[in-house]
Amino acid sequence: MKQNRNRGYRVAPFTLNRRMVAASSSVCKEQNTIHIITEVDVSKPRQLIREQAERTGEQLSLTAYITACLSRAVSQHHQCNAMRRGNKVLYLEDVTVSVLVERDFNSEKTPEPVGIASAQTKSVSEIHQEIRAAASSLKKHLGALSGMGWMRFIPSFLLRFCIRMASRSVAIVKRYGVVSVTSIGMFGTGAMWPVPLSGATVTLGVGSIVLRPVVVGGEADGRIEEREHLCLTIALNHDLIDGAPGARFATTLAEILSSGDLLRLDSALP
């Protein structure tokens, strides 16, 4: 980084990693996207994760649990696992969820997508292990995890064109999927709903966890409890998904997330 004390600023290179992210963002802005902003009570699954950590010593990530729940919800709504190619719509049989993992490239932290293939068939623990392995990978260049490292050899002025063409390739879509998760706001303080910029058919933006007063029990014995609520934003490709089907999908996702059933199956908790 060059310093120019006389002019009062420093000059740093706009790295290849940042150019690739900028090109991808430019392509994502071309999609017609609608958003659903909601909250889900995750007190039960969070408690199950804590209990399993105490019992086994393994702390499952909330991102892995969310990914498992998202894949199950998508498998119940076929229009959420589709891609458009001209005047045709392709429906994918397996649900591949692209999870953004933050990696360090020469002291520069950059998000890289990792495709969790057939996520609807995998346990929370299996997804957790895949995400953790990707985050700790020693591969040094952007795209190495997914076999897209060749993108770094493309001139900057061609990056957007190549990314646009890649998004229409069935082979690449099967590798990355049309469903993605970004935990951009998970570590924020206070209520935070991220509004993700995405070219996927379904993108789940995971926000912060906040405490909400909730009435528990019936009218006679009801009481107020503080419950943990997860802030979520669901971005949907409006070319493929209308508002009503999107709302039904969001309801399915909320039910699966709040139940904690996948954690019970994963850990054999009673």
**DSSP result, 5-69:** TTTTEEE----HHHHHHHHHHHHHTTS-EEEEEEEEE-HHHHHHHHHHHHHHS----HHHHHHHH
Q: Is residue 209 part of a domain?
A: yes
Q: Is residue 6 part of a domain?
A: no
Q: Is residue 68 part of a domain?
A: yes
pLDDT tens digits for 176-190? 899 999 987 777 778
Domain carrying residue 136: 11-257
Q: How many domains does the chain have?
A: 1
Q: Is residue 266 part of a domain?
A: no
Q: Is residue 4 part of a domain?
A: no
Tell me how long the chain is: 270
**Comparing 143 with 217, which gets the higher pLDDT?**
217
Q: Is residue 264 part of a domain?
A: no
- Output the pTM of the full model: 0.86
Q: What is the mean pLDDT of residues 77-103?
A: 91
Q: Is residue 85 part of a domain?
A: yes
**Band of pLDDT at residue 146, cut at 50, 70 and 90:** low
* Cα-based distances in Å from 98 to 104, 182, 195, 267: 19, 9, 17, 24
Q: Count CB neighbours of 105 within 10 A.
A: 16
Q: For position 109, which CATH number holds?
A: 3.30.559.10
Q: Count CB neighbours of 16 within 10 A.
A: 19
Q: Is residue 1 part of a domain?
A: no
Read off the tokens for 238. 């409006």
**Largest pairwise CA distance in the chain:** 73
Percent of the chain whose pLDDT exceeds 70 = 86
